[in-house]
Amino acid sequence: MSALRVSDLHYRYGSKVALDGVGFSIDEGRFCALLGPNGAGKSTLFSLLAGLLAAPEGGIAIAGHDMRTQPKAALARMGVVFQQTTLDLDLTVAQNLRYFAALHGLTGRTAASRIDEALDRLDMLERASEKVRALNGGHRRRTEIARALLHRPAVMLLDEPTVGLDAPARAAITNHVHDLCDDTQMTVLWATHLTDEVRLTDELVILHKGKVLASDTAHRIAGDRPLQAAFLEMVGETG
């Protein structure tokens, strides 16, 4: 079964077309990279998937739930890490997670054990009582990913989660999320403009100027070239 299905999505800001007939699907438990240069439409697609914007036509289904007819069920199965951080800097890591857990109806011992489990997954358990303001960028990102795991989503959306991080922090987060995919049945959609975050075994959707240029496993899209070469050829050197 596909965990995420998008069909013929269109979106425009005034006369500016941001998404122009976007469609693809991701099988359960797969890591899918959404690769596209700045302005490709990645964040617009995430806003539609998260229900922040409504598409005039086309469809979205999350874990089999249609966003139009069953938005509550669809959103309940989804975890989102947006491009801009949404943590409260003056709260501790654990407080940020506890608040979010409560929003999802998780309290008491259940919340506490989910929080420990999620922080442990991201190697953040020992920082639970630190204020987010004191954390570096990589640890803040890991906190956000842990938070998005609390309600055990079937599908996790991450919009350029490594932006602004140094190379080791970028690699750590990319590896953590790949591991999550391998170890649980969670499905991931990971937006990026960097080919080095994509593994050849990943699913890959290449988005450019609001259109899907390719949708397949990364190794099939790369063919006998490095993925970076295939990507640049598709989007042009300016991409």
Which spans of this chain sit near ligand ADP (rule: CB under 6 A)? Answer: 13, 16, 18, 36, 38-44
Site stretch for Mg ion (CB under 5 A), options 38-46, 57-65, 165-173, 180-188: 38-46
Query: Which of 53, 91 has the CB closer to ligand ADP?
Result: 53
Query: Residue 6 in 3-state DSSP?
Result: strand
Query: Which of 21, 39 has the CB closer to ligand ADP?
Result: 39
What is the C-alpha to C-alpha distance for residues 54 and 60, in angstroms, rounded to an integer?
10
Q: Which of 2, 7, 25, 43 binds Mg ion (CB under 5 A)?
A: 43
Query: Which of 25, 43 has the CB closer to Mg ion?
Result: 43
Partner touching 36 among ligand ADP, Mg ion, none, CB below 5 to 8 Å by kind: ligand ADP
Two tokens, residue 15:
């006369």
Partner touching 174 among ligand ADP, Mg ion, none, CB below 5 to 8 Å by kind: none
Burial per residue of 30-54, b for 16 or more beta-carbon CB atoms within 10 angstroms, e otherwise: bbbbbbbbeebbbbbbbbbbbbeee
Query: Which of 84, 129 has the CB closer to ligand ADP?
Result: 84
To 10 degrees, the CA torsion angle through 21, 22, 28, 31?
170
Eight-state DSSP code of residue 122:
T
Eight-state DSSP code of residue 92:
B
Query: Which of 43, 184 has the CB closer to Mg ion?
Result: 43
Partner touching 44 among Mg ion, ligand ADP, none, CB below 5 to 8 Å by kind: ligand ADP
Query: Which of 41, 154 has the CB closer to Mg ion?
Result: 41
Partner touching 109 among Mg ion, ligand ADP, none, CB below 5 to 8 Å by kind: none
Look at the block and give the residue holding tokens 């990507």: 231
What is the C-alpha to C-alpha distance for residues 235 and 113, in angstroms, rounded to an integer?
45
Task: Provide, rounded to whole angstroms, the least separation between the CB of residue 210 and Mg ion.
Answer: 13
Task: Provide, rounded to whole angstroms, the least separation between the CB of residue 217 and ligand ADP.
Answer: 22
Task: Provide, rounded to whole angstroms, the least separation between the CB of residue 126 and Mg ion.
Answer: 32
43: left (phi over 0), alpha (psi -120 to 50) or beta: alpha
Task: Determine contact, residues 109/101, Cβ cutoff 8 Å.
Answer: no
Which residues in this chain contact Mg ion in the complex, by CB under 5 A? 42-43
